[in-house]
Structure 1
């Protein structure tokens, strides 16, 4: 990596601090249970205290229970519904890891809006740091890495999800972390291959590349993504294929005659272990509370413990698989209409965001009519600029086969394309915030495009100055656009007329 090592860390850290200020300032505002927080904050509390979600939270979507929580009353969380329904098993439709993470914040800071939003804000900040570092690695430029982190800091949808206790910010975090690990692994593997090429007798397929800890780390991260939401499996499969293709490309780059056979023969088994077995184990470990407790849905504890240790293991796994089949049936049949649902084709255009929160408070805002809102929408300048950058990446990849352009476009498509299948086949209920996993790769596309616009270090100074001016102007526009939307992203109390002015389309209202 060229450049100053100190600034290679200090620059991204400063950008992450800026993003942290945006995310942690007044994190407890609004003092309300926002959108689907009503489910996850109570499930998280139950996981921390019981190891499994409990039907004591049959009040999960009950406004009365939400008001009790906001007043500091948590007594109902330990009461079954109905009272004699012990051990209170509760059916839930998502794996537990994201809720475990939310629960850590609740355990540290209490069962209040700040406590249940803390973990989301923290991983939001960490994702800014990771993106800045991975962009620096991909571009070999600290400045461009910091640009990527800055754009994610002021991306509206990322900000909103970082400030709410929903699962999608955790899914995005683990997906991005897995991608970053694979990019580092790519560099390390190519370095090993070059060392072999320079010091060993040549053959047609090349060597095995030994232990690859960064690929193992990627497997852990992507297994964790699946343990937050099942849609992480799309990235797990896609990134495994991508990593294998990178290995074949590296073998071809050093001139081996059979690079693809070498990749399949020498790299396929390690890929299956790192990106298959390890994620599966990671996913299963996230269910440790369910395996260890008699209180989980479908656990059949008495049956499992009736015939010795071997039968306990067999029956526990059988019950666990049965539970997953129930969840699969739920997801494939989820087609209940919702006023804020949207089709995946509309997500890049930000046509139908989700109103996470809206009230007309009685507090003064300078007029008789006030509004307080949290609108789950992206920063339009970044999203529309990102569309142009993604198109540029497609052209760049076709023209040059640059791996960075291909990786960014492929990762964006992995996060987007599967939802079209569900839209067509199942008419599934979907929302704009599902696109949060696409957002880091959209910003990487913008960053790579910015590098092309600025030009190489050996380009003419006037050329670079003009390019830097264009990139700087775009960044300034993004900052202005974000600042304009900020009040309706973080629930500031503003005049209703000001809220209305910030609705870019009528479909936003």
Structure 2
């Protein structure tokens, strides 16, 4: 397996946490034997390598730990500030991306246009509320009319679809998710009207389309390749889970959108911080010969972490599962900060990374997310008729002492509402036909059917699909080539993260740690495979990681790379073919029943 290299020749491997492997070259400025990343090689500051005919002494665990904790000694005598900065950027694995600026934007735009077609075509089918649209679309409409989620009479879906909204009551409804996603649905209803399925679903479609564009840019930055970024975006564009969830107006696509936006902001912060660190360190080294401050340079506000905090706060305001992304991405920001300090030779890199930059980084992201989440509840606080808004006041009126009486009534009522939601989510164990377990999500063991209709000849099947029996379905199942391939790819990603210390692999695993692993703690609850729409971007990045390995680095002769390139091309083409095959049952098209059966690759898909 090849180790991919960046366009500048520095290995895309995060080797900051331990001993590194270096490629020795000649330093043109000093004529010394140096490593490719700029550190002087053995014979200058480090002990010489043992003679190959003599066995090297065994290195104990404690010795290896001391070596890992020791900052590398970097010598840049005789180098200019620009040369030092370029060398430090190589050590920090910050690379320029080859290719034209035009294609950096045009490529993602073309893939996004293709994704838009798949998400907007026949968006009004079916012309009725399906699955949990019965909750979220009506709650969104209620927010527009009442300013809070009102209660509805039992089974009002047919009336709602027919334009009769008289079933809405002014009594507040007990809802178990925050309102950000519903306000986003409401924006589409306000734009296109509540009397059309287009109005119900346009917001979901738009954020799904934008997600494809964001992933193209994120993948481009992650893999230092516009082609690979567009490949990842193409996989997202044609995946069944993401297509279906972009065409159905429920909350999870909005959660996925904000988590992906937060992840993109985290990557931008990583690059911007490391560029600033390299520049500041280069200035100090070129002026004084070394870093005088054992804690390293002082840097400014990390604005992209604030942006990430806002995005993740909004994600948590859609569904509480966004909180896991806040925690994981916050820890990643600290870890990347600490490793960056070590890479530039900061002597007290652990303390400096943790205290000077790491703690502020965590505080920039996590409290910002928390504050954003709290602010999303402003409409609830401002409307006295919101559910549970007057809870503390009502308890006081009964001459009873409420719990947490030391809190202001408005805050106590809000906290009590959160306790009720927490109790609901932790006790949701009712049986459901399509409930599934997290262990089966990566292989799409039990996908969710959002809609199903079966029409036979005597009911007009011939007119619908030209067969004696027709099926109309919306099955939220992922593209098997993508999901099954990515499950295998995940093994390589984990290996690369642990063995190579490849920061790109760790970045991809952040999504799995935040959006997948926590669900194993709730396996006894009523949960569904479509929750993985928030995981899909990281699934396709894992598959793209393997594509990058197959294609190989550009400095390898084409004849050696050709087999891998052909293999990668076959994977992409197969994914496109499978997507075309499954498109009818992702988009509620009428098809012959026998054709529908061909799509049921596993018995658990029926």
Taking structure 1 as the reference length, the TM-score comes to: 0.93
Say yes or no: does 1:409 pair with 2:492. Answer: no
Q: Which moved more, 1:461-470 or 1:486-495?
A: 461-470
C-alpha deviations, 1:17-71, integer Å up to 9, x for none?
100011011111111211110000011111122221011x243xx1xx1111222
**1:180 is paired with a residue of what secondary structure?**
helix
Deviation at 1:313, TM superposition (A): 9.0
Deviation at 1:312, TM superposition (A): 13
Alignment of 1:123-134 (within 5 A): 123-134=207-218
Partner Cα distance (2:467, 2:575) in 1? 29
Contact between 1:454 and 1:463, CA under 8 Å: does it hold in 2? no
Contact between 2:333 and 2:358, CA under 8 Å: does it hold in 1? no
Alignment of 1:23-422 (within 5 A): 23-55=119-151, 57-59=152-154, 62=155, 65-77=156-168, 80=169, 87-111=170-194, 112-200=196-284, 201-300=291-390, 303=393, 314-361=408-455, 362=460, 363-422=463-522
Deviation at 1:466, TM superposition (A): 2.2
C-alpha deviations, 1:114-170, integer Å up to 9, x for none?
111101100000110011100000111111111011000000000000000111101
Partner Cα distance (2:214, 2:300) in 1? 26
Please identify runs of 4+ aligned residues in structure 1 that moved more than 3 A.
301-304
Partner Cα distance (2:136, 2:112) in 1? 26
Please list every run of 5 or more consecutive structure 2 residues that lacks an aligned counterpart in the other structure.
Answer: 1-95, 285-290, 398-404
Q: 1:312 to 1:47 in 2, by over 3 A?
A: farther
Q: 1:439 to 1:457 in 2, by over 3 A?
A: same
Deviation at 1:408, TM superposition (A): 0.7
Which residue matches 1:13? Answer: 109
Partner Cα distance (2:260, 2:211) in 1? 7
Q: Which moved more, 1:380-389 or 1:361-370?
A: 361-370
Partner Cα distance (1:115, 1:180) in 2? 29
C-alpha deviations, 1:418-463, integer Å up to 9, x for none?
111111xxx1111001112211111111112211111111011112
Taking structure 2 as the reference length, the TM-score comes to: 0.78
Contact between 1:148 and 1:447, CA under 8 Å: does it hold in 2? yes
Please list every run of 5 or more consecutive structure 1 residues that lacks an aligned counterpart in the other structure.
Answer: 81-86
Partner Cα distance (2:216, 2:346) in 1? 34
Deviation at 1:173, TM superposition (A): 0.6
Partner Cα distance (1:302, 1:234) in 2? 30
Number of positions where the alignment pairs a residue of Structure 1 with one of Structure 2: 489
| RMSD across aligned positions (CA) | 1.8
**2:188 is paired with a residue of what secondary structure?**
helix
Give the structure with higher Rg (CA): 2
Deviation at 1:74, TM superposition (A): 2.1
Say yes or no: does 1:467 pair with 2:561. Answer: no
C-alpha deviations, 1:336-393, integer Å up to 9, x for none?
0101000100101111111100012444211121110000110010001101111111
C-alpha deviations, 1:285-306, integer Å up to 9, x for none?
21111111011111118939x9
C-alpha deviations, 1:61-96, integer Å up to 9, x for none?
x1xx1111222222323xx2xxxxxx5121100010
Contact between 2:328 and 2:513, CA under 8 Å: does it hold in 1? no
